[in-house]
């Protein structure tokens, strides 16, 4: 049996990750703002607690929450003190600045911090198929290894600079959504010229673009699979703003991210906030005068 581990954040990714940890023999103390989400885990042996600090008392804690503000609120001074010299594994998609802030906060109490954002949709988490990026001190990453082994299919180490894994995660999410935008624009161009989008995307995703993003999101575009969202628009927009800020801080121009931000803002303005990322195809189609 692994050590008692606090788990904070039972959203679409957090819940299946927590389930995998229980299956792997971890004893979980779980916290979520919406307490009902913990019920299925409690039925499998987890203990529900009332505050993040209570979750941290076992000496190891995992967080996977929606944004930087939520993570900074969860990992408060009280939380860091409760964790003490233990380990905080942060799987949230946040800015590298937030990870550096939390690493410093934990260090004041002798604690360790690892940034470990993941790539994969909820169904990948349920199948133990996540890809994990990690960064932080060597000893902290070694201590986190049993967690990674229980939930993922592979881990990539990006060194000791604690914000590095977050930069990689943001870069990956940018590339993902840029690929969807490219497929959306290409589909609109093809349809306007009498080529069905299904014919276009099936051929390309079976040949020169035969990779998970083009195959899976291509199918979503072909079938208009806008709901339920695996990656909902407000969260994608949050990530694109983080990409924009991280690029700006580094003086690295990324003009395409501005287009993506505008696309997502348009979707929100049209009430499509519960759509999946493949909903980008609607913007490209409407610009081309197509009825989707």
pLDDT single digits (tens) 155-173: 999 999 999 999 999 999 9
CA dihedral 206, 210, 212, 218 (to 10 degrees): -50
pLDDT digits (tens, 9 = 90+) for 101-146: 999 999 999 999 999 999 999 999 999 999 999 999 999 999 999 9
The chain-wide mean pLDDT, for the chain, equals: 96
pLDDT given for residue 105 in this prediction: 97
Supply 280's token pair: 């980008």
How far, in Å, CA of 168 to CA of 99, rounded? 13
Supply 12's token pair: 């679409």
The domain segmentation of the chain, as residue ranges, is: 4-160, 167-287
Q: What is the pLDDT confidence band of residue 7, given thresholds at 50, 70 and 90?
A: very high
pLDDT at 260 over 90: yes
pLDDT at 292 over 90: no
Task: Provide the annotated active-site residues.
Answer: 169
Q: What is the pLDDT confidence band of residue 231, given thresholds at 50, 70 and 90?
A: confident
Q: Do domains 4-160 and 167-287 have the same CATH topology?
A: no
Beta strands in the chain (DSSP E): 4-8, 27-31, 47-48, 60-63, 87-90, 112-115, 118-119, 130-136, 152-157
Predicted model pTM: 0.95
* Token pair 């990324």 in the structure block, residue: 254
pLDDT at 197 over 90: yes
How far, in Å, CA of 37 to CA of 48, rounded? 10
Q: Count of CB atoms within 10 A of residue 215's CB?
A: 15
CATH class as words, domain 167-287? mainly alpha
Q: What is the pLDDT confidence band of residue 2, given thresholds at 50, 70 and 90?
A: low
**The CATH fold of domain 4-160:** Rossmann fold (3.40.50)
């Amino acid at each position: 049996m692994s050590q008692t581990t606090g788990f904070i954040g039972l959203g679409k990714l957090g819940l299946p990750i927590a389930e995998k940890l229980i299956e792997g023999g971890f004893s979980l103390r779980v916290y979520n703002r919406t307490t009902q989400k913990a019920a299925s885990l409690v039925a499998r042996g987890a203990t529900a607690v009332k505050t993040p600090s209570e979750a941290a008392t076992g000496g190891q804690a995992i967080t996977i929450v929606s944004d930087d503000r939520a993570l900074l609120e969860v990992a408060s001074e009280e939380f860091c003190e409760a964790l003490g010299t233990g380990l905080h594994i942060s799987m949230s998609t946040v800015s590298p600045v937030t990870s550096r802030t939390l690493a410093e906060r934990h260090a004041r109490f002798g604690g360790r911090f690892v940034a470990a954002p993941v790539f994969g949709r909820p169904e990948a988490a349920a199948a133990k198929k996540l890809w994990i990026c990690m960064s932080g001190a060597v000893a902290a990453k070694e201590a986190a290894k049993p967690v990674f082994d229980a939930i993922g299919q592979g881990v990539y180490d990006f060194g000791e600079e604690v914000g590095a894994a977050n930069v990689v995660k943001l870069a990956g999410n940018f590339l993902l959504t840029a690929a969807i935008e490219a497929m959306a624009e290409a589909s609109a161009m093809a349809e306007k010229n009498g080529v069905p989008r299904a014919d276009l995307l099936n051929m390309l995703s079976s040949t020169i673009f035969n990779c998970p993003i083009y195959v899976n999101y291509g199918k979503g575009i072909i079938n208009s699979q806008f709901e339920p969202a695996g990656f909902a628009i407000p969260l994608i927009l949050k990530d694109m703003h983080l990409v924009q800020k991280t690029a700006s801080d580094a003086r690295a121009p990324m003009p395409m991210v501005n287009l993506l931000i505008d696309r997502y803002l348009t979707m929100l303005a049209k009430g499509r906030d519960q759509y999946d990322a493949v909903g980008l195809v609607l913007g490209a189609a409407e610009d081309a005068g197509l009825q989707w």
